[in-house]
Every structure is written in C-alpha cells, then in structure tokens.
Chains A and B, each alone.
Chain A
Amino acid sequence: MLTKTLRITTSPHLKKGMDTPTIMRHVVYALLPVAIFSVFVFGSCAFWVLATTVLSCLITEFLINQIAGNHNSLTDSSAIITGLLLGLTLPPIFPLWMAAVGGFIAIALGKMAFGGLGNNVFNPALVARAVLQAAFPVAITTWYPAMQADRFQSLPSSLFTTPFFQPVFDGVSGATPLSAFKFDQVVASANDLAFGFVSGSLGETSAFLILVGGIYLWYRGIINWRVPVGIIATVFLLSGALYLIDATTFAPPQFMVLSGGLMLGAVFMATDMVGSPMTNKGMWIYAVFIGLMVVVIRSWGGLPEGVMYAILLANAISPHIDRMVKDRVYGT
C-alpha cells in the first residue's frame, strides 16, 4: 500500500538549469582571467587593489544585511562581481583606502540603497567609480606603466597612503593611450592594445581576454550578444566615419574600440542584466545609444574616457526603453 507523503509544488514542475547564484558565479569565472592578467601586467599592486575592492564590497553587503535584517545575500556572488568590476576600472596604484571607500559606495549607494540585487538602476561598480572620480580626481587619473621589471618585488608606496592625506605617487606615471591621444595625438599600436601591454586601468588591459570571457558568457546564455556587438559596431562605424572626415582630430576606429574601458564596459558592464532592457529590440537601442555617447564624449567632451558615463546614462534610460519598445502582444 502506498503511504508516501507527496510534495506539493506549483507548475511548471520543470526548471531550466541555471539559477541566479549560478549565473553570477559564471560571470565571476569569466572575469577572473581578465583580473589575473591585469596582475601579470601591473604586478602585485593590481592584486591588492582588486582584493581590496572585492573585500570591501563583501563586507559592506554583509554589514548592511545584518543591520537591515535581510537574508544573507552574499551567496549570490553578485558582490564579488561588483568588487572585481570596480577594481578593474581603477589605476593599479590607486590608494587602497580609496579603493575600500569605492567598494563601500558601490554596495551601499549603488545597490543596497535601491533595495539590493535586481532593484538597482545603475551598475553599482560604475556608480562607485563615478563618485571616486569626483572625490579623488588626481588619484584616479594617475597611471602607471605596464610590465615594469620589478612589478612583483616592490609595491608603490601610494597604495598605502593614510586616509585623507594627499598620496605621493612614486615612479613614472605613464599616460594612458586615450589621454596620450587626446592631449598629444599619439596612437598606440592595436596589437599592444588588444593584448594588454599598455598602461591604463586594470581592466583596460586585455581586449582579447575580455572577448574570451564575453564569448563564454554568451555561450552560457548569460549575456545578450546584441549589447557588446551593438556598442562596438556603433563605436567602430561612427569613429570610422569621423576619422575619414578628419584624421588629425579624430582617432582611428580600431584604436577607439580597443582602448580605454570600452571592451570591459561593453562586455561586462553594459550587459549587466539589471541595468539593461529586456527585449532584443530594446537591447539594440540601448547598445547604439551607448556607442554613440562613447564617441561623443571621447571626441568632444573634456575627458579622454567616456564609457562609464555612457553606460550610466544608458542605465538611466533602460527602464524607459522597456516601457516604450515592447514586443507586440499576441492577438493585439
């Protein structure tokens, strides 16, 4: 006689494989090669910057959960992603206390203030990066050359600046390819840019590894290919057109695509599910908008780099895109 008690569940009783924590974990996997390579290029200081942002994101999320009495959301790995992404947008010799502040801002202001994962409007790492840019304009634009011979033996002293003291940046501070172009019209080689042997922020280094990570995430069904492809194509075509018109003021298109945070932003930040639209049509609009803004800001704005602002602006309009471009409901 059958006497088993049965479990009651609601339909559908089948589930497609991946849950949210798994998705987040795959994003971490995709980011790791980029992070490790940045440590290889810039040395131990890069490791410390990344470790600091990741840790401060995790600690902040833990503390806010404790205070607000939320369930523990650390297990979804999203704080690690934010920490890694933030670290990757910073210069390798960024004072660690500032990096820690950045991690705190990312989680507290960029994520939890909106209600936690899923409710944030903006990419938390970029929110933090924008605040840091305003608060520490010098530190965040002081760069460090790639592939220093002693990069694993010594640490730049600026890393350990005491909070609220003006850091003293040691060594040579190298211009990034974008600022070199903006202010001195020097174009870095596409090869160096693609494989990462240039100065810049941690994650600007290897377009190639970023692409590999992106393809992995696309293969896993985690990111929508329309976003990176749309952004990169828009930047390439638009800057290509400008370059054809006037090659002395405008940078060549391959340089525009490979330099700065464009690849990292296009593959890992603009694709952030929470901040991007939900329909394919919406994705195209969002991507083209970002590409357009990047070219406009880089070409006519006062800053060499425009990816961060472009994505933040696009995050802001993404809910409106969703409201305006819906798929037509069947039968209407």
Chain B
Amino acid sequence: MFNFSKNTFKHGVHPPEHKDDTCTMKIKQFPFAPVMIIPMAQHLGAPSQVVVKEGQEVSRGQLIAKANGYMSVPIHAPVSGVIKKIGLVHTLSGNRCEGIYLEAFPFSGQEVPAGHGVDWRTSNQDEILAGVQQAGIVGLGGAAFPTHVKLKVPDGKKCEVLMLNGIECEPYLTTDHRVMLEQSSDIFMGIRYLLRSTQAERVIIGIEANKLDAAEHLQNNIPEGLPVEVKVVPVKYPQGAEKMLIKSVLDREVPSGGLPIDVGVVVVNIATCAEIGRLLPYGHGIQERVVTITGPGVKKKGNYLIPIGTPLRFALEEVGVADNISEVYMGGPMMGMSVSNLDISITKGTSGIVVFTEGETKKQGKPMACIKCGACVQACPMSLNPSRMGILAKHEAYQEMLDQEHIMDCFECGSCAYVCPSNIPLVQYFRQSKSSIRKQKLKANAH
C-alpha cells in the first residue's frame, strides 16, 4: 500500500534490535520530580541565558531562560514551582554548566497558559522559524541541533523535498515509533508548518520495515491535499543518519562536506515535526519529551513523556532498576553516551535511557592488533577504511587521515567498532582525531 523501496545505502550493520520490549507500550505521563535540575547547555550552540532569580515563583511553561543568539533556543519551566538555586549542574559530557534547580509545587494545577500562537495559514517563513525558536525546539533525535537553524534554507538554494526521519535505527529505542502511532495529527500539523517554511514541493516520511504499523497508520491518515508520501526502507543501521536516509530514499548522495540542502533536501526528525505541530498553534514552549527507558536492568520498561530537567536518578528510581546494573546509556547503545553520574538530567536531546546489568554487558575486551580482517571496511556506511584510519590515528598522522582517508566524513556511527573482532576503539580514535584536526585548523586560521 505504501511505497516499499528495496533501496538502501551501502554497507552498514545489523545489531540485534531489542525493540519488542517497548514498541507496543503506549506513551505514559511521567510524574514530576520534587526538584527539577535544568541545565542551560541542552543543545548545540550557545547555552541559554537564565532570566529568573532564586526564590522566584514560576508557572509551568513560563520562560526561564532565553536564547543566547541565533544558534541558541530558550528554555521553559517544566513544572510550576519555585527557583531554589541557580548554579553549576552536571552534564552528560562530564563538564558542568550553569543550571536551574526548580522545586515543584505539590498539587499545583499543571495547566500551561497559551502564548502567541503561530497560524500556519497566514504566517510567513520568518514568523514560523521565529516561532520554532521561541518554542525552544531542537532536534529530538539526539543531536539537539536548534531546529530553526536547520530549517533555514540558505539563499540561492532550494528545498525540493522535506524528509521526515522516522527511521529510528538505534537498537532498543522506540520513541519515534510510538510518536508516529500516537501523534499523527501533530505530525501532519507540523508538516504544514514545515512545508510553509521550507517551501518544499513534497514530503517523504522515511520509515524502516520494522515499524510497518506506524507506516500504515500514517499512510491512512494523510490529510486531503498534503503532498505526503510514506516510504518504507529495509532495516539497517545507521539508516537514521541523514546522509544514509537520503541515499536510501532518494538515491542521492550529499557531497562530502556538504549538507542535505545541497541535494535539495531538508531532513527533520519525525518527533521534532510532531512537537512543532503540537506547540506552534498555541505558542507553547517545549516542556517534556518522549523517552524510552529500557534495557535488561529496568523493571518497568516503557515509553514515557518525561518533563525536561527530570533528574536521571529520579527517573531510574521511578521505573525501578535491578541491583546489579553496571552501565547506563543516554541515547541508544550504538551512539549514546555512557553515564558516570546519576545527577545529570533528562534534556531535550535525550531519546532513550538504556540500562545494562552485569551479566548483559560483554566487558569491552582489551584492544588487540588489527588483523586486517576488513570487517570494518565492509561495515562503514561512508565507505571509509577504518582499519587504516585507526593505524594512522595511533601514529597521530592526522594530515594523512585528512588527505587520503576522508576522516572528516566519519560521523561516528560506530559500525566499524561494532564489528571489529580486535576490540580496537576505532570511534574513540576518530573522535579524537577529528577534534585535533579541527583545533589545528583553528590555530592555522588564527595565524
């Protein structure tokens, strides 16, 4: 019934999916933590700027931090309460940043007052982009890139296709799956805004074949006159990466170093689109997001609508974890980060929390010599040579990695390290190499 495409990108891997645990579980509202911890650095770009004072009472949905420039978004109170403290808070990266401790009023009505809505029928491009920024929307797929920046089609470029990313290729995660099943009207409303702001001619929703129910549901509910096409592609990791998705669905390749718009495409995560459709008509800001909490160590696995700023510790206690948990990841197990400190919070970019127990994690074995098995070469979706790059990285031969091996095209998907039998921490090498190369470039430019 919908467009099933056999097309896919080259290489890639098939990690075990583990999605069955949660993909049938309806999104449930999560309780409010007694104290919310809200970091200002929740997105790529400049951290937001606090506009409240200690001791001040705020109501749910109220602006508590404003955008700090174009590459930034505001933050809204996730709950009505009182600002206890403004100070440093822990973040996932291990660094600390400024943050707000918000003590929730027990039993307060959690109504969100409406702000200035944006009408999709009458507003122009700039008004919509401003509305998206004011709502504090960032990419909910995990990268947390400010969405209004992404939606801005540069002068001289044209957006032909608006691509909605419903791939969700990370194992264990099912948030996008649930959003597609439960929030289709929000999604189609979001599409109206996105179509107007990007001026795209058509919309394609890309979905992997393991979510046929979602594809079917969306297909059946396309409103009259919306140029939307649902396209189902074979399951493969990392198809959710923009470049892979565009290759699979449109058979176009984004040029090395370029952006999707260079091939006439703007890609938006499906949950982000739903959020736009949900918030913009009412001028609301984003206060919560859907998070999959799952993994062998979790007792009440599920998809939860969690207030942003909920401390991870509270979230885990609420769902219950096994005694022998050993690792906690924010995001999926392929690209997510492992957590060292439970005092961090759930932010706009948190798509999932995966908890592993002692028995379930294969201890990362000691790295051994590369046996040139070629498994990484046959796995890399960008067709790079991770084996050679790994050896070069060890010798800090960054120039060669840049000139001969296209290191900057590596987007750290982890497929190579996933298959490497010698446990070589390839992605870690590449992350370091890329940041060294960027630093060198900055230095060179400064001279």
Contact = CB atoms under 8 A, between A and B. Distances in A.
Contacts of A76: 368
A224 interface: yes
A16 B16 CA distance: 9
B334 A12 contact: yes
A331 B340 contact: no
Interface in B369-387: 369-375, 377-378, 381-385, 387
A279 B374 contact: yes
Contact of A13 (B313, B356, B381, B388): B356
A13 B368 contact: no
Contact of B427 (A12, A19, A115, A322): A12
Given A7-B361, A12-B414, A278-B385, A23 B336 contact: no
Interface stretch (B211-219, B416-424, B434-442): B416-424
Contacts of A4: 325-326
Contact of A19 (B361, B372, B414, B421): B421
A276 B373 CA distance: 8
B338 A6 contact: yes
Contacts of A330: 9-10, 243, 247, 253, 256, 381-383, 409
B333 interface: yes
Interface residues of A, number: 42
Given A11-B337, A328-B383, A118 B371 contact: yes
B217 to A, nearest CB: 29
B10 A327 contact: yes
Kindly state the interface size class of chain B when it binds its partner.
35 or more
Contacts, number: 163
A161 interface: no
Q: Which secondary structure dominates chain A's binding surface?
A: loop
Nearest to B422: A20
A7 B421 CA distance: 21
Given A9-B364, A118-B371, A332-B256, A23 B338 contact: no
A18 interface: yes
B247 A117 contact: no
Contacts of A118: 368-372, 422
Nearest to B388: A322
A116 interface: yes
Given A279-B374, A331-B243, A116 B383 contact: no
B371 A14 contact: no
Given A13-B333, A15-B362, A7 B369 contact: no
Contacts of A2: 313, 316-317, 321, 342
Contacts of B129: none
Given A7-B327, A76-B368, A330-B409, A14 B334 contact: yes
Interface in B398-433: 406, 409, 412, 414-415, 417-419, 421-423, 425, 427-428
Contacts of A116: 369
Nearest to A3: B342
28 contacts: A2-B317, A6-B325, A6-B327, A8-B327, A9-B338, A9-B364, A11-B333, A11-B427, A13-B333, A13-B361, A14-B418, A18-B421, A19-B368, A19-B422, A23-B371, A76-B368, A118-B369, A278-B377, A279-B374, A327-B10, A327-B383, A330-B247, A330-B253, A330-B381, A331-B243, A331-B255, A331-B257, A331-B258
Interface of B: 9-10, 13, 15-16, 171, 243, 247, 253-258, 313, 316-317, 321, 325-329, 333-340, 342, 354, 356, 361-362, 364-365, 368-375, 377-378, 381-385, 387-388, 406, 409, 412, 414-415, 417-419, 421-423, 425, 427-428
Given A9-B338, A276-B372, A330-B382, 17 more contacts: A1-B313, A2-B313, A2-B342, A6-B326, A6-B328, A12-B334, A12-B335, A16-B418, A19-B421, A118-B372, A274-B371, A274-B372, A278-B372, A279-B374, A322-B388, A326-B383, A330-B243
